[in-house]
Structure 1
Amino acid sequence: MKNLESLTFKLSNQDYDWLCRLKNNDTKAFSEIYFTYWENFHDYCLRYLKNENLVKDVLHDVFLEFWKIRGKLEIKYSIKAYLAVCIKNKCIFVLKQMRRFEFLEIEDYDFQSVEHDQFSVRDIESQLNYVLTEKITNKSRIIFELNRNEDLSYKEIAYRLNLSVKSVEYHMSKVLTILRKSILTLITCMLFF
């Protein structure tokens, strides 16, 4: 379980529990995941495939593969995001196989449901809070919050905290660099894991 504990992003307690149990061949954990997400993913697939039998096949294939590779799973973000990407990719594959895809542009398909968008925003906010509380110094966090939440200029922050403007610039640059890297990694995880 060393890999799960060393992730940049913290998995939810539920996801962590499910992954640990899956790696120990716990079929009940698999059933819990399946019944938690099946209905949402069913509706998600149906929007694109427009065929109940194809949707059932896609979901069956994705969940079957998920079970088969349970011992090798390296989920870096969340189980829901991981499965969403797998299902999206499987839908695209099925559409290509049906030769409908060659007549349509990928942009014609909005593969992000409203629920998934809200899920993503919540997780970006969660990652932002994690970075602000765990990855930066208290002084950097205070400077960042004064700038972003109270809309103070660097000069005003320097005056209020009895620092030089260069020091404020340094702390802001440091925080923004960490946030950029963190958000980039988060987006990469959402797209590929």
Structure 2
Amino acid sequence: MFLSAIVKHAQINIDPITWEACKAGDRQAYASIYTAYYPRLYNYGHKFTVDTSLVEDSIQEIFTLFWIHRQKLEMVKELRSYLFVSFRNYLIKLLQQHRLIQSGTDIDDTAYAFALDISAEQQRINAEEVFAQQEQLQKGLQLLTPRQKEAVFLRFYENMPYEAIADMLQISVKATYKLIARAIAELRTTCRQPLTAALTLSALAALLGSMDLALQLSR
């Protein structure tokens, strides 16, 4: 079940024809992009705040601007990165205005929180068999800094390249590699209890919907 969910998520993609049609003013193409990315942005936004209205307002605003300025986006190389960067910047701006995170131009680990938890669904499945591992993983996640959590989420859940993550977090690509490597090392250290490989991969894949992350942590 988990692997099918992962594959389904990975298949969400906008082809170049749809992208070009949107820029040309095709509302159906625009709707396809909106439908594909709304739930992903919504999920991402709720890791910054539980305030649904702020998340929804941010999504609506960036999609409105996206449609208005669609013809000026010829230089956009990767649609997903563009939408995520635009959404993140606008949401953080709203959070600052509502004093839900610290104000300032530098958004670092002291300025905001990023929630990264084992899903409630996974906690209900095979509870007795994987409880110990889930508990370890949960503790490990809480030890990560907000920036580490966000980088892990973007890399292993959204499958973003390191270059795109670096742009989003406004750090170098080298620093991004180090950030994710340290997060994985921290999680590996926390998950010390020996468990079978099958249980390890099942629980870790369900953690973020990412078999890639499971393989990284099981090495």
How far did 1:114 drift? 4.0
Q: What amino acid is aligned across from residue 40 of structure 2 in structure 1?
A: N
Question: What secondary structure sits across from 2:102 in the alignment?
Answer: helix
Mapping for residues 30-179 of structure 1, pairs under 5 Å: 30-102=30-102, 106-107=108-109, 108-109=112-113, 110=146, 112=150, 114-118=152-156, 119-121=159-161
Distance 1:189 1:22, change over 3 A: farther
- Contact conserved, 1:85 with 1:190, CA < 8 A, in 2? yes
What's the CA shift string for 1:39-63, capped at 9, x where partnerless?
Answer: 1110111121211111111111111
Distance 2:155 2:33 in 1: 20
**Residue 76 of structure 1: how far off its partner (Å):** 3.5
- CA 1:116–1:54: 2 relative to 1, 3 Å: same
- Find the aligned partners of 2:97 and 2:60 in 1 and give their Cα distance: 17
Kept after mapping to 2: 8 A contact 1:15/1:79: no
**Which amino acid letter does the alignment assign opposite residue 53 of structure 2?**
N
**Aligned-residue offset at 1:103:** 7.1
Aligned to 1:152: none
Q: Whole-Å Cα distance in 2 between the matches of residues 38 and 19 of structure 1?
A: 16
Identity %: 26
> Cα offset for 1:97?
0.4
The 1:95–1:106 alpha-carbon spacing in structure 2 relative to 1, beyond 3 Å, is: farther
8 Å CA contact 1:82–1:190 kept in 2: the answer is no
Distance in 2 (CA, whole Å) between partners of 1:103 and 1:190 is 18
Q: Please give the secondary structure, in 1, of the residue aligned with 2:25.
A: coil
For residues 103 and 62 of structure 1, the distance between their equivalents in structure 2, rounded to whole angstroms, comes to 21
Give, in whole Å, the separation in 2 of the partners of 1:43 and 1:59: 11
Q: Secondary structure at the match of 1:106?
A: coil
Which protein has the larger Cα radius of gyration, Structure 1 or Structure 2? 1
Deviation at 1:115, TM superposition (A): 4.7
Give CA deviations for 1:37-92 in whole Å, capped at 9, x if unaligned. Answer: 11111011112121111111111111111111111113533111110001110111
**What is the DSSP-based 3-state SS (H/G/I as helix, E as strand, rest coil) of the residue aligned with 1:49?**
coil
Q: 1:67 to 1:43 in 2, by over 3 A?
A: same
User: Conserved in 1, the CA contact under 8 Å of 2:54 and 2:91?
Assistant: no
The SS at the match of 2:76 is coil
The answer to whether structure 1 residue 26 and structure 2 residue 64 are counterparts is no
Per-residue displacement from partner, 1:18-47 (whole Å, max 9, x unpaired)? 231012100011111111111111011112
Shift of 1:113: 5.8
Task: Indicate how the Cα distance of structure 1 residues 113 and 17 shifts in structure 2: closer, same or farther if over 3 A, else same.
Answer: farther
Task: State the shift of 1:190 in Å.
Answer: 5.7
Give how far 1:101 is off. Answer: 2.4
* Number of equivalenced pairs: 118
State how far apart, in whole Å, the 2-side matches of 1:191 and 1:71 are.
26
Distance, in Å, in 1 between the alignment partners of 2:53 and 2:30 is 22
Determine helix, strand or coil for the equivalent of 1:101.
Answer: coil
